[in-house]
Structure 1
């Protein structure tokens, strides 16, 4: 099971933090600080896999990937494969790239809800749902289309909509 997904910038600010097991907010902040502390102190030429038992309890591991100014981090238990999690990070980043045309940190800051939508199409409740970025993009586009249609309907004045029903 995936326990958490984090995107942290190189200054230690979380741009996304989603925990799939219940944690108090202060505990989440502490975990993010601890993970960032480990990531920023690691050399570039070492493995992207870390044992995380001291932070997340027994049977916990971290896989991360560093892109530009962002660390993409997945925390999971032994029921998941490290290489599969590394590939899942790649799927997440590729999908964000398709969504935002070469994703950057500002896209994540200003499109927070869309980023969560993408993540929810890939992982839900700590379980992997979809690993094909094309399928994820289809679902995200459909959700965006439905939200746009819903917003357009809600913008129609009530007097106009009541006139149409006569």
Structure 2
């Protein structure tokens, strides 16, 4: 059964904190976008590798997964299914790997 959920934004961040891709599905001003990126980069990059891949943030939930030197992050509603979003991230990375090659080094 397919479950619908709301993706607010997608971020790809390098281990050095550089933003590689953003896609916004909810309205954020440029100032808010910069603040979101700064906040989440700090939170996600400082987390240990053995911690779970979900972060509660501003009443929402951020699901992230590290592949190679990038963190793939998706912000969803607090009551949405995190595991489904992890599967979506993994599927996205597999597609990138097939298209570009060597995405998951």
Q: Structure 2-normalised TM-score?
A: 0.88
Q: Which structure 2 segments of 5+ residues have no match?
A: 1-5
**Could you say which residue in structure 1 is the equivalent of 2:3?**
none
Q: Which structure 1 segments of 5+ residues have no match?
A: 105-166
2:53 aligned with 1:45: no
Relative contact order (C-alpha < 8 Å, sep 6+): which is higher? 2
Shift of 1:83: 0.2
**Could you say which residue in structure 2 is the equivalent of 1:92?**
92
CA RMSD of aligned residues (A): 1.3
More strand by share: 2
**Could you say which residue in structure 2 is the equivalent of 1:27?**
32
**Structure exhibiting the larger radius of gyration computed from Cα positions:** 1
Shift of 1:68: 1.8
Q: Distance in 1 between matches of 2:91 and 2:78?
A: 21
Q: For the Cα contact (< 8 Å) 2:68–2:103, is it kept in 1?
A: no
Which 4+ stretches in 1 moved above 6 angstroms? none
Q: C-alpha offsets along residues 61-91 of structure 1, whole Å, 9 cap, x if unaligned? A: 0110011210000000045310000000001
Q: Distance in 1 between matches of 2:49 and 2:103?
A: 22
